[in-house]
Amino acid sequence: MNKYVVKNIKRPDEQIIAEYSKLDVSTVHEAQGKMGLLSREIKSISSGAAICGPAVTAVCYAGDNLMIHAAIEVCRPGDILVISTIGENAIGMIGELIVMALMKRGVKGVITESGIRDAAQIRELGFPIWTKAIHSQGAVKTRGGWVNAPAVCGGAAVNPGDLMMADDDGIVVVKRDDIQSTLEASKERMRKEEGTKEKIARGELSLDFYQLREVLKRENVHYYEDEDQVKA
């Protein structure tokens, strides 16, 4: 099996990343057809954290963080390290020292379907991490894997250079080839939401502006003036 590290990948334009950084995960997920979400089991260790940037992927064997160390070398400022594992595990494959090394490289954050440790120290450093578990058991460094290879993290396919977004609502991946079209769709969705907010502020009901009364009628939902009519 050919294991490898790809040193250089194509990354989205910085202006595109800046535009996406104004959006949120839920908006982008909806705008691209309700696709690209990673598992809800992968959660932020700090409330209010949000990141947006290109994926550098590390594919590791469960409990072995050798390829995370290899990935540090090829990370560039603004990258997001996405870690997938071959085999399920919740071992603390990243701790304070690796986080310090990633921060030195300018990495924005980590998304991992494995576990982390040194959570208090990482929170103090202010480094954003989305992880499946916090667990003191440490990793070994004995098995080679892949850096910047196609990966599956949290049930979603992630390729190097794809755009990753993570916030309090979860994590979404935007395929590199879809970045421009998804951005335009996301902006359009935001414009529509602004119009909806104006309707709500005017006191309009969602039943009316979403045209949901016909759905209630189709579903045979009846209106009664009071409880006595229901019992009659």
Separation CA 4–CA 150 (nearest Å): 12
Residue 126 is labelled as binding a ligand: no
Residue 24 is labelled as binding a ligand: no
Separation CA 167–CA 48 (nearest Å): 7
Residue 95 is labelled as binding a ligand: yes
Residue 118 is labelled as binding a ligand: yes
What's the count of helices (H) and strands (E) in the chain, helices before strands? 9, 14
The HSE-up count of residue 184 (CA atoms within 13 Å, CB side) is 3
Residue 97 is labelled as binding a ligand: yes
Buried b / exposed e over 79-98, threshold 16 CB at 10 Å, is bbbbbbbeeebbbbbbbbeb
Binding positions for Mg(2+) are 118
Binding positions are 95-98, 117-118
Binding positions for substrate are 95-98, 117
